[in-house]
Amino acid sequence: MSERGGLPGAAQPVPGLPNSFLPITIEGFSGLNTKQDRPAIKDSELSWCDGWMPIAPNMLKVLPGTGPIFYTSGTPGDIVWFGFGNVGVQSYLFVLHTDGSMTAVTVFAGVATQIMPPGTITNPTSILGFSQWGSLYIIFSKDQTNGYWLWDGSSLFTSGTAGPIVDILDGGSGYTSVPGVSAIGGSGSGIVLTAQIDNGAVSLVTVNNPGSGYQVDDRLVVIFAGGNGTTTPIGTANISDGVITSTFLQSGGSGYQSSGGVQTPPTVVITDGTGSGASIVVNGMAGGIVTSLQIVSGGSNYSAPTLGFTGGGGSGAQALAFVDQGVITSVTITTPGSGLQSTPTVEFVGATGAGAAAIATIGAGGAVTQVQVQAGGKGYTNPTLVVFSGGNGPAVATLNLMPFGVSGTTAEVYQGHVWVGNGGAVASFPPRGRVIFSAGGDPSDFGDDGGAFVDTNSFARVGYFSLHQTNGFLYLVADSSLDYVSGVTTTSTSTTATTTFNNQNADPQIGSPWPSSSTVYSRNLAFANVIGIHISLGGAVTKVSYPLDGIYFSTALSEPDYPSAVAQIFGNTVYMLLIPIADPILGMTVNKLLLWDGNSPSKPWFTSQQDRNLTYVSTFVDFNSAPQAWGTDGTHVFSLFEQPSAGFTKTFQSKLFSNPAYWMTKTANELFGVIENQGAPMTITVDNELGVGSGGGSVSVLASSDEFNVFGPIPCGQNGSLIGVTVSTTAGAATVMSLTIIEQEEATRV
């Protein structure tokens, strides 16, 4: 707001009117200021600005309301968190429910799929970590046992499953068609892989199903078969001492059913030169395929038993039997392979054991014909596979399991590593000041060149609550400080790989324990805490919410988290924080959005509600660089500030003007103004120091069919030492450009 003519702050007579008539013109609209009392703010500032956005001088616009409901939970109040990400070109809304389940909803199409069953997230009302690995995988983390997940748009990767990345060590050569590829080893099952070839070599292996049931010490072996007549050779290690303790089903075969269509289990035949007394039966089948075996009796004195299948009407089932204890005595070649052009190396792959060594011999067709054990090692258990690699034959690849024991409440991707912090954890172990990071280039591998560190700064309080990458740094937002990571480098030797980096402090006193308040805003980092809203500009933290101090501290901020979002509104990029305040107009505590247009010249603050009571907000960024704010009321998810709405009241208040002096009583006689066309009446009340409209009346300005509604003079009798206006409307679209009050000094009234 400003006053026309003469020196700032001094009203000047209106030409053609008696000298005692002075104008007060309200049109600067530089933003909300609640830190000072209403008479003490600048002429251009507003003492309240709710549902209106100050865009420029002579442009104060009504804010839009919510868009249509996009997603609805079947249970009221069921939504506790939501976020957005994309896999490839498909954008998703992810919704966390009170039962610990997670739903992925395709944006635009609205197709909902449950990707985590109920109970997956054990404490859904506490803080959840969320990020993404490029456009390949969505990342979730939580402070619970094995609280780390990846999702690739179809499969959920978690502890006990394979990871999503197959690392091709050697693509092989001479492939004329796509080879079959599978994973064996470990105690789980169900992994499905497919290969892709380019220029006669395997260039990509995709995990179509990560399987389940794998244990922490399991190791997987990738084998290739066909495509050019070459096959990965594999074998099994024979471990002494006697009793059959476990089996490994290599292939379930097919067609095991009678002519009547009833599945008939085949009989398991055990062949061994020394052992006796063992009994193994088929105890699981599906679709004519053998799925599991059961040992009825382990027998005794077995050395290297083989298993065969007879009967049942089918064929193709293959299995291995394993015996107890410790030392590798020989190797049985279960698949001799083909196409090897030189002697491959031999590796023993098992959950335990060390020290075994062997040499392979190849024969006609490039097949492994013999394995000579040079050292039996110790501590081996079944199943221990024998893997042959190299030899200029079939492709060679490795597949890791998803990590066990990884957990945290915030996650971010930086310099090819996933970083997981634990500051928002409920329990104190693992340490809340801990950060772990994955190996470079693999979000499922936290070994190799991955690692961990704990915040040991003298000013460290609890831990890192949110991690964000911007401006080439990884910012670590602790509860009462701000650090940043840079210079990430991995150094490798023939046996080890080590990741090093710089971790430096940016601010030892200002941070945030509210992870959802922290977000990237343009190139900067914005976050909030109990003393206000802050911006990190190149690492220098500055409080920017001083104009909100009058309302920011009006309620007790006791929740563990307060959410934020970023949106483009009227072409301006705005940061917003959802927080409870005591609304000075309504006289009650409400959840309100505090909004900051920090990229505009005047950087104005303003507030707003929406058509529904908001419980959480988040940001959606599609592929056009235009962020959108979305919200939930606990039952529905919808976009914010999308379309004109008459569903909530928009109110702003000017300064209370004292001109020419506080002690001089004035009478506001007439009101003039210019507003843009609107959809509902606008109520303009002239105030004095006693309150809104105290002792005076209100005027109602109706919508105009013209582009601009230039109105006045309208009588607006009001007496007081201080004069201002309160303007409210439910219009879905309206702009105030200028309001002018003509006042007369009481001492000179004729």
Query: Please, what CATH class does the domain formed by 21-63+654-748 belong to?
Result: mainly beta
Q: What is the helix (H) or strand (E) element at residue 549, kind and residue range?
A: helix 549-552
Which tokens in the block code for residue 95? 């919704």
With tokens 């690995």, the residue in question is 133
Share above pLDDT 90 across residues of the chain, in percent, rounded to a whole number: 58
At residue 330, the pLDDT reads 66
Share above pLDDT 70 across residues of the chain, in percent, rounded to a whole number: 82
Q: State how far the Cα of 297 lies from the Cα of 49, in Å rounded to an integer.
A: 80
Lowest mean pLDDT among 101-105, 134-138, 269-273, 745-749: 745-749
With tokens 């500055």, the residue in question is 542
At residue 691, the pLDDT reads 83
| Domain ranges across the chain | 21-63+654-748, 234-400, 404-639
Q: State how far the Cα of 7 lies from the Cα of 660, in Å rounded to an integer.
A: 12
Query: Residue 347 pairs with which residues in a beta bridge?
Result: 387
Can you list the positions of beta strands (E) in 102-173? 102-106, 112-116, 129-133, 137-141, 148-151, 156-157, 162-170
- Give one DSSP letter per residue of 157-195, joined into a string: E-TTSEEEEEEEEE--S--SSPPEEEEE-SS-EEEEEEE
**Fold category of 404-639 in CATH:** Methylamine Dehydrogenase; Chain H (2.130.10)
Residue 178 has pLDDT above 50, yes or no: yes
At residue 5, the pLDDT reads 36
Are 216 and 404 in contact by the 8 Å Cβ rule? The answer is yes
At residue 261, the pLDDT reads 55
At residue 294, the pLDDT reads 74
Provide the terminal-to-terminal Cα distance of the chain, rounded to the nearest Å: 29
**Higher-confidence position of 245 and 105:** 105
Q: What are phi and psi of 662, to 5 degrees?
A: -60, -40
Q: Is the pTM here over 0.85, yes or no?
A: no
Please, which pLDDT band fits residue 321 given cuts at 50, 70 and 90? low
Q: State how far the Cα of 500 lies from the Cα of 368, in Å rounded to an integer.
A: 42
At residue 6, the pLDDT reads 36
Q: Is the dihedral of CA 52, 55, 61, 65 positive or negative?
A: negative
At residue 3, the pLDDT reads 37
Measured CA distances, 39 to 43, 561, 723, 743 (Å): 9, 35, 9, 17
At residue 285, the pLDDT reads 76
- Give one DSSP letter per residue of 91-104, joined into a string: EEEEEEETTS-EEE
Closest listed residue to residue 597, CA positions, set 30, 59, 48: 30
Please, which pLDDT band fits residue 622 given cuts at 50, 70 and 90? confident
- Check residue 119 and give left, alpha or beta (phi > 0: left; psi -120 to 50: alpha): left
At residue 10, the pLDDT reads 42
Mean pLDDT over residues 529-553, rounded? Answer: 95
At residue 238, the pLDDT reads 63
Are 455 and 464 in contact by the 8 Å Cβ rule? The answer is yes
Are 100 and 122 in contact by the 8 Å Cβ rule? The answer is yes
Please, which pLDDT band fits residue 234 given cuts at 50, 70 and 90? confident
At residue 72, the pLDDT reads 97
Residue 60 has pLDDT above 90, yes or no: yes
Mean pLDDT over residues 729-738, rounded? Answer: 94
Q: State how far the Cα of 430 lies from the Cα of 578, in Å rounded to an integer.
A: 30
Query: Residue 479 pairs with which residues in a beta bridge?
Result: none
Are 273 and 305 in contact by the 8 Å Cβ rule? The answer is no
Rg, Å, the chain Cα set: 36
Lowest mean pLDDT among 485-499, 508-522, 562-576, 641-655: 485-499
Predicted confidence (pLDDT) per residue in 407-455, tens digit: 999 999 999 999 999 999 999 889 999 999 999 999 999 998 999 999 9
Which tokens in the block code for residue 324? 């107890």
Provide the pairing of β-strand 417-421 with 410-414: antiparallel
Predicted confidence (pLDDT) per residue in 341-383, tens digit: 667 777 767 667 777 777 777 777 777 777 777 776 777 776 6
Predicted confidence (pLDDT) per residue in 440-499, tens digit: 999 999 998 999 999 999 998 999 999 999 999 999 999 999 999 999 999 988 778 899
Q: State how far the Cα of 467 lies from the Cα of 463, in Å rounded to an integer.
A: 11
Mean pLDDT over residues 35-40, rounded? Answer: 96
